[in-house]
Chains A and B, each alone.
Chain A
Amino acid sequence: MKPQIQEQSLDFFKKLPQLGNVPFSAQNSDHLKNLLPPNATEAKLFARLRARILDLGFPGPKAEFFSQLPPTLKPDLTLWLKTPQISSSLLEESKQTLLKQVKSLLPQSVLVYTSDQFYEIEPLAEQKIIEQIQAESNVLHLCQKLQSLFSIHIIIPPDTSLPNCAINWHSLCSFPFHVYMWLGKNSQTNWSLEYHSQVDTSRLCGMSLWAEPHAQVNLEVSHLSSTGVDWNHFSFVLKEGSAVTLTGYSEGSQFSHQSLSATLAEPEARLEVKWANLLTGSHKSFLGVHVHHQVPHTHSYQEFRSIAAGQSKLGLDLALGVYPQAAQISARQTIHNLLIGEQVQAQVKPQLMIFSDDVQCSHGATTGQLDADQLFYLESRGLSPAEATALLTESFLAPLFENSSASWKTHLQNRIHKQLEII
């Protein structure tokens, strides 16, 4: 099946450069809405790639694959994205390499698949990318520029339902990657976001999400292991009656820094975060979460479960802020850490900062080792110590994924098994 280009979508994408590098903030919401085409509710979804992020031999599904699927199995949207192999430790070296790689990428195209059409996205001009890279003299700034270059803007129009979407991001280089997602009023969607990293250099990726009134989104995010430095940031803004569920799984890396800043900006906004960390070897992981209850009648639930083995180090800094005017909110924060081995370290810092009366807030944290009685019970039934340990660690994480999709559960089980083999 040859990819088709839909006229109306191309018109839409041509408008998007108006966005430029618009920073993510509440003030930009209207600007984004104005970019929606008149028939947005029928279009279901429009995505934009502002740079060439290409599939270089990655065995992801192609058009033919989707065309063979029965309609019930076709995803609403799946983006298979992979960067080229680029090593960049020094600025000049990385700039030269980047230039070379970008040039080799440009002739290729990216397909965005929806239930109805394939969309081929027009690339940015090659010269523009080259100019941006050449003009930069600072590594951090270069990363920031690349992050804005390598980003996806996803707009879910109002009253739209997209239950089955995914992004697979395979990073073989240090290109930063960011997803901007705007959820229109009363929209409903589920997204699986998978970030693979296989480089010794740094990785910067994240997501900025905006939930308009009564929008609902379920995000399943996995950060898979890397030998380099990971820097991931999520930023959420929730408006009236919206609900965001984030279920995450991270395998850590040589150094992993993950952060989430969520603002419950209007009444009846509801946030649920369930996050699992599985650290092995000499991984170091830091997770910082700040949830802001800015107004009354907002609700948040956070549960974090971490397994640390080997010589890994884990840090959790979880802050919950209830603003002075935010009465009658409910918030719960739960942390469970399982330490395997004598040389692991975990530092947990739960914080409740409450500046309002008449609120329901609670938190709890536990840190411990595998239960010796449970281990013996399983071994007495014929499981080896390694099998028993694997089963118990898997069961430790299981409560986080009870309500997750079957495919996500299977995916995670496979990943966890793989990681437990290392333990």
Chain B
Amino acid sequence: MLYIENLNAGIDQPILKNLNLKVNPGEVHAIMGPNGAGKSTLSKVLAGHPSVKVFSGKVDFKGEDLLSLPPHIRAHKGVFLSFQYPTEVPGVNNAEFLRLCYNTKQKAQGGIELDPLDFDELLDSKMALLKMDLKYKERNLNEGFSGGEKKRNEILQMALLEPSLGILDETDSGLDIDALRIVAQGINALRNPERSLILITHYQRLLNYIEPDFVHVLHQGKIIHTGDKSLALDLEEKGYDRWSQE
């Protein structure tokens, strides 16, 4: 599904350095690493953030050159980024925004667009999955949401848009214990053999709920070690110092 080859990318100079990663359909990959390792840069490159420049390398997504596509087309093709810091957009009603996004994608994919009533039913069912209060439908997009509610709203969007590849950038940050469990349950409910996930996180605790197939250590812009979920436990215990010293 996703094949990253020798990717060099950053703002002014490469932060990601010859990064390679392969994600097959249905796989869950956790990417862990110290601050400044390039985790968020990777998520921005994949989503097409204009501030990140690709110096060299290739990203193939379902047989297409992902880097040649503008952000909204990437979304239509099935790439979804759950933001570390979701942006507040005053004046835009959350439910209306979600319906606009849903229908835009449906239209792009030749699917059926929903009228407000039908969409409302769909939205209610997805919000129930995440145990979200229905009052968040009427609020403006992320405006005044707590950190945890913003993250839930991100996963709600993922549940509605049903992407092929979900990139979750530190979704666990800002969540209390109960919220983490509920959000993780929601993410697990979205797992299927066709959908892949990249979990970017600092902590092992998210992986207690969402079991990854692979755990990668990203350090100084490169994936320097790959293992199974036991690697996350090892990192929690010993930290990243051993690689910093190498």
Contact = CB atoms under 8 A, between A and B. Distances in A.
User: Binding site of A, secondary structure by majority: helix, strand, loop or mixed?
Assistant: helix
Contacts of B81: 380
Contacts of B70: 379, 385
Interface string B102-130: 00110010000000000000000000000
Interface string B165-204: 0000000000000000000000000000000000000000
A383 B87 contact: no
Output the residue of B75, B91, B101 with the most chain A CB within 10 A: B91
B72 A382 contact: yes
B33 to A, nearest CB: 23
Interface stretch (A6-14, A284-292, A369-377): A369-377
A379 B89 contact: no
Interface string A346-380: 00000000000000000000000001111011111
Interface stretch (B20-28, B47-55, B216-224, B237-245): B47-55
Interface string A258-290: 000000000000000000000000000000000
Interface residues of B, number: 29
Contact of A395 (B72, B92, B101): B92
Given A376-B50, A376-B71, A391-B100, A382 B161 contact: yes
A120 interface: no
Contacts of B3: none
B92 A380 contact: no
Given A382-B76, A382-B108, A387-B104, A373 B71 contact: no
Given A382-B76, A385-B72, A398-B91, A377 B86 contact: yes
Interface in B48-101: 48-51, 70-72, 74-76, 80-81, 83, 86-87, 89-92, 97, 100-101
B75 A380 contact: yes
A383 B49 contact: no
Given A382-B105, A383-B100, A395-B92, 4 more contacts: A381-B104, A382-B76, A382-B101, A395-B140
8 contacts: A372-B50, A379-B70, A380-B75, A380-B83, A381-B161, A382-B108, A391-B92, A391-B97
